[in-house]
Chains A and B, each alone.
Chain A
């Protein structure tokens, strides 16, 4: 569960049915459970007009649970990058009345929100729920490279190799936490590396 430490650190809610004409869900892994858990609160026929885009991840679970909701469309994608063109197309053609629901890892929520912001949806208008891994998407503030699925503190930049302190400072525009060199004075000084974001 995300805790508000500094103002930019996103916190997430619990999915609940919104008033709207079209409902678009984007979820990964355990995020599927956030969708199935809200069915009790949804009015009858809610999923008849819903579209669910789902990234099952390596374990490949929960597809059957989502199929059982009988959404208008269920699209299974192997990765966020693979669903991006489809998502952009959907948002380009969408009308006011579309409601967006994001559930799963912070990386998924952040990247989908980034696309939604570009399409003109305010971040406060998006329903979110964090489920599953706490792994972070991190931007190295030095080389600007993005490293996905960071679970340790500190973490190594996958681009420039600097050892970075993973901050709670988050950028919605970049959909990433900021990583700042932890041993800039003396690069030989290696602090203990802990599994901080399992």
Chain B
């Protein structure tokens, strides 16, 4: 059960290949009405019905929040993942009817900021597409630093440079271009907020340097949807509903709980929002925590797990579900 959200019946209105890895999908409402309003940084959970299997993956909305005739998402193909992105790339064509969640924003702009400093890595550019549109429409002060592997994989780099000129700075890994992060962070005017979206390593690096250089945590915003990782199958007992289930190799714990007919709350399905946090009643084995929600202390305690992205290896696991 997605907490507080209703589903939207949409139709795929366009599918546009952007480069070798990324494809853009456009959705419109089937009833022709406008889609709900959203703010830059919001995501939707897309339901992918693939035979008897349903995957639910979160994707940032990348269109302008000023235009709600359609929603757009960009999906990077992950050949080693659990198949969600491959389904989108291979099976989703214009005219296909799909179901998506209402938009939810866990990465919103703090509009009290005097300036917005944005750091994107790779496909982490997508929420900034919407945020820059929102800010540019309101005369907001922003600066975007975007790291990509090569120019040809710099998704939307051309569009962003065309729109915003020197407010966008590109860094290409293959040309050994690197952000001078300490200098960048130390030269920002008081009242700047920092936003970072990209690979986990980049987010950790930026958060760590920002903290060391005196950026209060309230000014540092980040989003990283951890895709559920495949892993060895394991058995789980759901104490409240009195069921024992098996989590398959390509299945997340949350998906296995749902497949058993138990409906825990969720929002992001990416280890970020905290909605599906579940108490552990007992365990004998090792947790594989992949979320960004629980504290390190929680992870060590073995008393909590985020079933959307985390797994377990061992003899037994009993959850309060």
Contacts and interface: CB of A to CB of B under 8 A. Distances in A.
Contacts of A94: 189-190
Interface string A97-121: 1110000000000000000000111
A59 interface: no
A41 interface: no
Contact of B214 (A21, A92, A119, A120): A21
B211 A96 contact: no
Contacts of A122: 112, 216, 218-219
A124 interface: yes
Which of B113, B187, B189: most chain A CB closer than 10 A?
Answer: B189
A124 B112 CA distance: 14
Closest 6 pairs between A and B when the two form their complex, measured CB to CB: A120-B191, A20-B214, A125-B216, A97-B214, A94-B190, A120-B114
Contacts of A125: 216, 218-219
Given A19-B214, A125-B218, A120 B112 contact: yes
Contacts of B216: 122, 124-125
Interface of A: 18-22, 91-92, 94-99, 119-122, 124-125
Given A19-B214, A119-B191, A97 B185 contact: yes
Given A19-B213, A120-B114, 9 more contacts: A20-B214, A95-B186, A95-B189, A95-B190, A96-B186, A96-B188, A97-B186, A124-B216, A124-B218
A96 B112 contact: no
A92 B187 CA distance: 13
A82 B114 CA distance: 26
10 contacts: A20-B213, A21-B186, A96-B188, A96-B213, A96-B219, A97-B185, A119-B191, A120-B113, A120-B190, A122-B216
Contacts of A91: 190
- Tell me whether chain B's interface is mostly helix, strand or loop, or mixed: loop
Nearest to A96: B188
Which of A21, A96, A99: most chain B CB closer than 10 A?
Answer: A96
Contact of A98 (B114, B187, B214): B214
B218 A98 contact: no
Interface in B179-216: 185-192, 211-216
A21 B192 CA distance: 15
B190 A98 contact: yes
Contacts of B185: 96-97
Contacts of A92: 190
B114 to A, nearest CB: 4
Interface string B102-129: 0000000000111000000000000000
A95 B112 contact: no
A35 to B, nearest CB: 18
Which of A18, A20, A122: most chain B CB closer than 10 A?
Answer: A122
Interface string B270-312: 0000000000000000000000000000000000000000000
Contacts of B214: 18-22, 96-99
Nearest to A90: B190
A22 to B, nearest CB: 8
Contacts of B191: 119-121
A22 B190 CA distance: 12
B25 to A, nearest CB: 37
A98 B190 CA distance: 8
A164 B58 CA distance: 55
Nearest to B117: A96
B115 to A, nearest CB: 8
Contact of B188 (A20, A22, A95, A99): A95
Nearest to A117: B112
Contacts of B187: 95
A119 to B, nearest CB: 6
